[in-house]
Amino acid sequence: MKARMYEPEAETLDRQTLDRLQLQRLKETLRRIHARNPNYVRHLGGRGADQIRSLEDLQQFPFITKEDLRRAHPFGYACAPRTEFMRFHMSSGTTGTPVLCPYTAADIEQWAGVMARCLTAAGVTRDDVVQITPGFGLFNGGFGFHYGVSAIGAMIIPIGAGRSRLQLQFMRELGTTVIAAIASYPLRLIEVARQEGIDFRRDTRLRVGVFGAEIWSDEMRRRIEQEMGIETFDIIGMTETGGVGMGIDCSAHQGNHVWEDHYLVEIVDPDTGDPVPDGEFGEMVVTTLTREALPLIRYRTRDITRVLSRQPCACGRTHLRVDRIIGRTDDMLKVKGVNFYPKQIESVLLRHRDVAFDYQIVLERKEGADHFRLVVETSHPEDEGLARRLAGEIQDLLGLTPEVVLVAIGHIERQPGKAVRVVDRRGSEHRE
């Protein structure tokens, strides 16, 4: 399978060359930190390029966390003068001090390049019409897709977030072939399309969807592809490490390529911080290798994944592949001593054709004990047999039996942005 590539020479570097390039760029990044930011050097315990003789030596360096960046608000870890900042984006957190991530002109150019690689891996060409539905604001998604599509030279529909009926109108009238979105937004478009009598296969030219920013199950992926008649691609990245575009799965769909000439990835035990062998799940830790304004050394992403392969892919790319993210360390739920991720619940629900896309896990305290209620939208809310089957399958999976409440489609409030899948009312003292 010969794949089209945006930067074929860089995307097909052999393993030894990649390792040498990573080592060189890691040392350059450490020298930049030492030259630009004494506070950052203190965080590193004075360690620098002189302590790096191999990539394994990076394990001697401390991690950096989102809390570290918050405490250094607004630009305490920046390694470029503010006169070189071209823009900043803000990490999408829930509460607390925001994490502001500045970009120099070189950072924006790097971002455009990796995004163009990702989009090309998804089959996007200059002949496509790309509808960008993430917001153009502090959230990085809209701008990241804009830069990548611009680099490829395709037509952009920069509509941004929301306005689902207008989104569908533009798809039909302007011949959209590619949609970029947070992973749950296609579900809303499918819902509105049904209300409007729109058939994606009949009424649009859509063929590709590039989705990310949320954890989405294989079952959700299959539902979206079936409903919209498209091939979907799972894109990864975060504001702190330079924005969406750190990697993507290709048409082989055998894991997400990470652009190793720009990012060095480790998988560690989330409790001990020790590295885990390839193939074992752990927390992804990212070191940026080409970022100027906010280079990060061993950033703890909280995303749980594993290295699938360091061998060349069927598509011809040689960069390592990681598994699709199964959860986040801070998203793991603990109910009656059982740990699980919301994605596991979603995988059970979406195997059933009568179950719609929206659901909520509601956790409460009742009579001094955890109570697990699962609110599920369905076209048959009166079907008690379906409720029993769902409860039984979750019991088989987790050893927990939820109270399954079936509701009509549209019952759960549609929030702007990322879907709210968990409502935990137990109080922090009962969540551990």
CATH of the domain at 395: 3.30.300.30
Q: In terms of domains, do 280 and 346 share one? A: no
Statement: residue 432 has pLDDT above 70: no
The whole-angstrom separation of Cα 182 and Cα 206 is: 17
Given a contact cutoff of 8 angstroms between Cβ atoms, the answer to whether 142 and 171 are in contact is no
* Percentage of the chain modeled with pLDDT above 90: 81
Q: In terms of domains, do 280 and 425 share one? A: no
Mean pLDDT of 295-314: 97
Q: pLDDT-based confidence at 428, cuts 50/70/90?
A: low
Q: In terms of domains, do 388 and 313 share one? A: no
Given a contact cutoff of 8 angstroms between Cβ atoms, the answer to whether 237 and 147 are in contact is no
The residues, ordered by sequence, that sit 6+ positions from 221 with a Cβ below 8 Å of its Cβ are 232, 234
pLDDT for residue 357: 86
pLDDT for residue 431: 52
Beta-bridge partner residues of 102: 88
Mean pLDDT over each residue of the chain, to the nearest integer? 93
Residue after which a domain boundary falls, among 280, 312, 328: 328
The whole-angstrom separation of Cα 206 and Cα 204 is: 6
Torsion of CA 135, 150, 303, 136, to 10 degrees: -10
Show the beta-strand stretches assigned E in 65-128. Answer: 87-90, 100-103
Residue 148 φ then ψ, to 5°:
-65, -45
Residue after which a domain boundary falls, among 300, 328, 356: 328
Statement: residue 131 has pLDDT above 50: yes
Q: And the tokens for 246?
A: 């750190």
Q: In terms of domains, do 38 and 177 share one? A: yes
Whole-angstrom CA distances from 73 to 97, 102, 302 are: 8, 12, 20
Residue after which a domain boundary falls, among 266, 300, 328: 328
Mean pLDDT of 23-32: 98
Q: And the tokens for 359?
A: 């659901």
pLDDT for residue 94: 46
Domain that holds residue 344: 333-430
- Kindly report which listed range (262-276, 305-319, 409-423) carries the lowest average pLDDT score: 409-423
Whole-angstrom CA distances from 213 to 146, 180, 228, 346 are: 16, 11, 20, 17
Cut 0.75: pTM above it: yes
Q: In terms of domains, do 279 and 421 share one? A: no
Q: In terms of domains, do 131 and 240 share one? A: yes
Q: Total domain count for the chain?
A: 2
Q: In terms of domains, do 410 and 280 share one? A: no
Statement: residue 182 has pLDDT above 50: yes
Q: Tokens 């209620």 identify what position?
A: 373
DSSP letter string, 17-69: HHHHHHHHHHHHHHHHHHHH-HHHHHHTTT--GGG-SSGGGGGGSPPB-HHHH
Q: In terms of domains, do 48 and 122 share one? A: yes
Which helix (H) or strand (E) segment holds residue 162: the answer is none
Beta-bridge partner residues of 275: 268
Task: Tell me the per-residue pLDDT of 348-374, one tens digit each, with 9 for 90 and over.
Answer: 998 998 898 889 999 998 877 899 999
3-class state of residue 189 by DSSP? helix
Statement: residue 415 has pLDDT above 90: no
Nearest-5° angle of CA 229, CA 230, CA 233? 155
Position with higher pLDDT, 427 vs 177: 177
- Kindly report which listed range (134-138, 281-285, 424-428) carries the lowest average pLDDT score: 424-428
Residue 76 sits in a domain whose CATH number is 3.40.50.12780
Q: In terms of domains, do 394 and 262 share one? A: no
Q: In terms of domains, do 40 and 169 share one? A: yes
Q: In terms of domains, do 379 and 285 share one? A: no
Q: In terms of domains, do 261 and 346 share one? A: no
